[in-house]
Structure 1
Amino acid sequence: MSATITLSSISWSAPDGTSVLSGLDLSFGPVRTGLVGRNGTGKSTLLNIVAGNLPPSAGSVAVGGSVALLRQAVTAPAGETVAGLFGVRDALALLQRAERGEATADDLADADWTLEARIEAALVRLGLDVAPDTPLATLSGGQQTRARLAALVFAEPDFLLLDEPTNNLDREGREAVGSLLATWRAGAIVVSHDRELLETMDAIVELTSLGATAYGGNWSHYAERKALELAAAHHELDVAEKQEADVARRSRQAAERQARRDSAGRRKKAEGGVPRILLGKMKDTSEATGGAKARLAERRQGEAAEQAAAARERVEVLDPLTVSLPPTGLPAGRTVLAMEGVTGGYDPASPVIRDLDFVLTGPERVAVTGPNGSGKTTLLALATGRLAPFAGIVRVAGDIAFLDQQITILDPSLSILENFRRLHPDATDNACRAALARFMFRADAALRPVASLSGGQMLRAGLACVFGGPKPPDLLVLDEPTNHLDIASIETVEAGLRAYDGALLVVSHDEMFLENIGVTRRVELPAG
């Protein structure tokens, strides 16, 4: 019997009562399925429900086969080792006793002599060369993620449940995960914003506020289908809005005709010559007819408004947000950043960056790449003046803006509007509101506390505050801007950056993002 996962009428609400999933019916077979959707649509929640870690508020889950879940951002317990992840500490200890000649006959009967080779094979499959007794605390975050994934593969589940497996991984780590899934022959449900990884999927399931929709094929096929759906939704909205306007126009014309008839009746009454009883009957008939027509018009207007609202909601779900960045006026060829013989880091005895010469001219788009630990974030800190070099010179010509992974330019205790005013104290209230509206923070949305924003909203708010002033920066520096963003938010940022005419310096492991923002040059840092 093939491994299957079936979800029937699944609903789940957050502790505050907010509905996250509602009436979902989904089934998964032994294929690789990408699970996509905007942040907050319940992707991670759905994985935890399937894994049995979270009971649904309503509905049922039927799992035929074994599942193994890779969570996001798991903190390693103190003293945990790679062997602990694999759940084989006791079995390895038995083999070690056997090698020392200390094992009993019963021990030897239970020994798994293939264990060490199978552990090594699982680690190698994820590009790791570490011993089973290696403490997790000595591994980087990306290495820990790969070790956890190797442990899941070692268990040979019928379904892998992976929640953003390539987050915080360098290029090598991303390629290892992609290679694993490309050759995975059991089932997999993968929550990811990594479009390269999603290209290896057999199917895509999208979660939206309207529910779940399954698409056969990989990311490219899904994107094509979505473009067609969006075009159809815009057409339906145009038709619905035209119908709504036509109904309103016809209702208005009918009301005007009825008003003219009523006016004519009143004139006849004033002129006399019509028996009183007949006038009364004519009045009753007119009122009855007018009331019936008014109710009919009201019902038709209500129906047309509902159809237009439904069509509008569908477009809003399908259509990604867009942002527009004002021009910088940066002349082509002007040097905006020069680093000469720069050596720096956090320990003078072991600098991360050594003797770096680097010049950036407008409007170049430069990506800083390299494996984790090679000093990419350190280079950005040196370039933006957050870190003084041990040696060498850093020169910046023009205005510079830096958005790090945590968007620390924003004060989380303040609202978006308050942050904007803090960064642009001379801006008028109208200018503040207009600038934030360009980034889709209109009316009460501008009053939201920064601490309550999602990752995509936080980055958008940071861009709004950076680019909303009287003069946008000549150089924008970004550190891993796509980490923790959903794909819709990534595409929004891509669209905005494509329209930016200043210089750009960005650290990112997302190759599709770098391609889509038009990177023209790369600075490759060697492994540390």
Structure 2
Amino acid sequence: MSVTVILSGLAFAWPDSRAVFTGLDAVFGEGRTGLVGVNGAGKSTLLRLIAGELRPSSGDVRVAGSVGYLPQNLILDADRRVDDVLGLAETRAALAAIEEGEAGEAQFAAVEGAWDVEERTHATLDRLGLGHVGLDRRAGQLSGGEVVLLGLAAQLLRVPDVLLLDEPTNNLDLRAKHYVHEAIRSWRGALILVSHDRETLELVDRIGDLRDGDLSFYGGNLSAYEAAVAAEQEAAERTVRVAEADFRREKRELADTQVKLARRQRYGKKMFETKREPKVRMRKRAEDAQIAAGKLRNTHLDRLNQARDRLQEAKDAVRDDAEIRIDLPDTKVPQGMQVLELSDVELATGQVVSLSVRGPERIALIGDNGTGKTTLLHTVMRLAEPRSGTARTFVPARFLPQRLDILDDNRSAVDNVSDTAPSAGDNAIRAQLARFLLRGRQADQLTGTLSGGERFRAALATLLLAEPAPRLLLLDEPTNNLDLASVRKLTQALESYSGALVVVSHDVPFLRDIGISRWLRLGSDRLEEVDPL
């Protein structure tokens, strides 16, 4: 495997002096590398450093060959033409001039033998499901998913030696994700991929785990990485148990030694007071005893400190991946109980929808981007008016939007929960927030300053602890922008939830993990039940 990217003593800090890396050494080779780590670990920052968008504070980034970079949340000028985004505008203009017989030396130089550029471009667009997109169209006419695919097409056409992808499947529907996955599978150069999407990370050859400013590599895809980490953690926990036993033994031995030394001191003092031996000999014996006692005490203290260090080192090797644990009996919905009824509801997007939800059903709402899934949730929550028909909920319902704008970012998590649960006391709220892993300072911190995962947990707590307790929960793309650890925590929380769920998501592994019982697809004209994915 040839080396493509070398990081040597890489350091980087933001203008406010927050350090991201302080001396990172790493080597990336050919093949597909997936970068994982908690939100805020520096994954996107690392890609920008490799791409040259950021300059390191110190250290070196060396890349063998050209670099292609697709950033997260790609934004294009609405008036920019597709061929310009793809880097073809000049070549197409030159070809047009040559065809019209108005070409000069500059036009032929611009073509440089790329006479079939449009054919190759259309083939690449077809591979990504963009065959319908004309090269003269404007970026503003494309959907968000199409913009991402267009950005990927631009990189594929360049054929860089190193391709960097930052969350390329975010906000993409299942069809668009399929095209991205096919592009990743077929990539033959070096690829470094940041993603929280499990299906995407199953396509890589190795995983780079970015943690506490350091990067550890594991061979294989996400499943192999998780198995390796689980084995590491099991070994680390065994080491902690051994180190704890060693530490306790050293403490006992030190205590025993101190008791013995105290007895000797009392005996020596008694001998001196009774003057059973000459003073010179007793003084010499006392001095020797003090020296010996000091050495013995220091030996045991050294051994105790070494045992303490080994214990701390063993504890540091154990990952602190605490789990969300909640108990919300008031959310329970009996089997067969009517929860939601949509009767011939015509959405603002045009579809006529009928739907009945009974008992603690768990429903996945899937479909292509732009079909109106969010509109349907808004209609249920009376945030959007239907054109006709009736939408009724029969139990308390709550809605978690993509942007988490149920939170007041200028107030703490405690205050946000207090607003939705006014009868709950401060201590009760803090106890519940602790179960959502928001303790002490985090619970009192302004939610706008929390990390992505912390802010999400604050929103989830605000939702689930509301009064009355929600017995119908509507979630809109809840795993978007969450790291793998946060997705696991969300899954744990929803496993504890005993009400009905309607979830809009393109994250199929997540939907399977939370036990979806019905799969509904919203198309351009109707809502239909489909087989489980």
Structure-2-length-normalised TM-score: 0.91
Residue 504 of structure 2 corresponds to which residue in structure 1? 507
| Alpha-carbon distance, 1:203 to partner | 1.5
- Stretches of structure 1 that go unaligned for 5 or more consecutive residues are 345-350
CA distance in 2, matches of 1:3, 1:77: 36
Aligned residue runs from structure 1 range 237-276, under 5 A: 237-266=240-269, 273=276
* 1:314 match: 317
Residue in structure 2 matched with residue 65 of structure 1 by the alignment:
65
Q: 1:409 to 1:259 in 2, by over 3 A?
A: farther
Q: 1:314 to 1:362 in 2, by over 3 A?
A: farther
CA distance in 2, matches of 1:404, 1:142: 19
Q: 1:195 aligns with which of 192, 195, 198?
A: 198
Cα gap change, 1:466/1:78 in structure 2, threshold over 3 Å: closer, same or farther? closer
Where does 1:211-360 land on structure 2 (aligned, <5 Å)?
211-266=214-269, 273=276, 277=280, 280-316=283-319, 319-326=320-327, 327=329, 328-344=331-347, 351-360=348-357
Superposition RMSD in Å: 2.3
Give the Cα–Cα distance (whole angstroms) in 2 for the partners of residues 246 and 324 of structure 1.
35
Q: Which stretches in structure 2 are left out of the alignment for 5+ residues?
A: 526-533
Instruction: Name 1:387's counterpart in structure 2.
Output: 384
* Amino acid corresponding to residue 429 of structure 1 in structure 2: D
Which amino acid is the alignment partner of residue 458 of structure 1?
R
Does residue 523 (structure 1) correspond to residue 524 (structure 2)? The answer is no
Task: Return the alpha-carbon distance in structure 2 between the equivalents of residues 248 and 105 of structure 1.
Answer: 86
Counterpart in the other structure of 1:49: 49
Whole-Å separation in 2 of the counterparts to 1:335 and 1:244: 59
Aligned residue in 2 for 1:132 = 135
Superposed displacement of residue 306, structure 1: 2.2
Count of residues paired in the alignment = 520
> What is the one-letter code of the residue matched to 1:389?
P
2:431 corresponds to 1:434: yes
Aligned 1:110-121 pairs, distance under 5 A: 111=111, 112-121=114-123
Query: Counterparts of 1:242 and 1:449 in 2: how far apart (Å)?
Result: 42
2:366 matched to which residue of 1?
A: 369
Report if the CA contact (8 A) 1:353-1:378 is conserved: no
How far apart, CA to CA, are the structure 1 residues paired with 2:397 and 2:73?
A: 32
Kindly report which structure 2 residues correspond to 1:34-45, keeping only aligned pairs within 5 A, or say none: 34-45=34-45
SS at match of 1:411: coil
Deviation at 1:264, TM superposition (A): 4.3
Quick one: distance in 2 between partners of 1:310 and 1:401?
Answer: 44
Q: Secondary structure at the match of 1:69?
A: strand
Taking the aligned partners of 1:247 and 1:15, their CA distance within structure 2 comes to: 47
Matched-pair contact (CA < 8 Å) for 1:33–1:202: yes
Cα distance, 1:512–1:430 mapped onto 2, change above 3 Å: same
2:98 equivalent to 1:94: no
Opposite residue 414 of structure 2, the aligned amino acid is L
> Corresponding residue for 1:347?
none
* SS of corresponding position for 2:324: coil
Cα displacement (A) at 1:169? 0.9
- One-letter identity of the residue aligned with 1:188: L
The 3 A distance-change label for structure 1 pair 353 and 453 is farther
Partners of 2:107 and 2:404 lie apart in 1 by 55
Check whether the contact 1:338–1:360 (CA below 8 A) recurs between aligned residues.
yes
Contact 1:41 1:209 in 2 (8 A): yes
1:415 is matched with which residue: 412, 415, 434?
Answer: 412
Q: Determine the C-alpha separation between the residues in 2 that align with 1:76 and 1:374.
A: 23
Q: Answer yes or no: is the 8 Å Cα contact 2:345–2:388 preserved in 1.
A: yes
The residue that corresponds to 1:348 in the other structure is none
Match in the other structure for 1:406 = 403
User: Partner letter of residue 135 of structure 2?
Assistant: P
Counterpart amino acid of residue 204 in structure 2: M
Shift of 1:379: 0.9
Counterpart contact for 1:3–1:65, Cα < 8 Å: no
**How far apart in 1 are the matches of 2:68 and 2:191?**
9
Tell whether 2:169 aligns with 1:166.
yes
1:454 aligns with 2:451: yes
CA distance in 2, matches of 1:225, 1:105: 59
Q: 1:264 to 1:397 in 2, by over 3 A?
A: farther
CA shift at 1:68, angstroms?
A: 0.4
How far apart are 1:93 and its partner, in Å?
A: 1.8
Report the Cα offset of residue 280 of structure 1. 4.3
More deviation, 234-243/286-295: 286-295
Q: Provide the identity percentage.
A: 39
Deviation at 1:281, TM superposition (A): 4.4
CA distance in 1, matches of 2:390, 2:322: 41
Deviations 1:188-228 (A, max 9, x none): 11111111111111121111116211122112211211111
Contact 2:74 2:151 in 1 (8 A): no
Give CA-to-partner distance per residue, 1:473-519, whole Å, 9 cap, x none: 21221111111111111112112212322211111111111111111
Q: Deviations over 1:347-383 (max 9, x none)?
A: xxxx215321111222111011000001111111111
CA distance in 2, matches of 1:202, 1:181: 11
Report the CA distance between 1:275 and its aligned residue: 5.3
Please say if residues 401 and 466 of structure 1, whose CA atoms lie closer than 8 Å, have aligned partners that are also in contact: yes
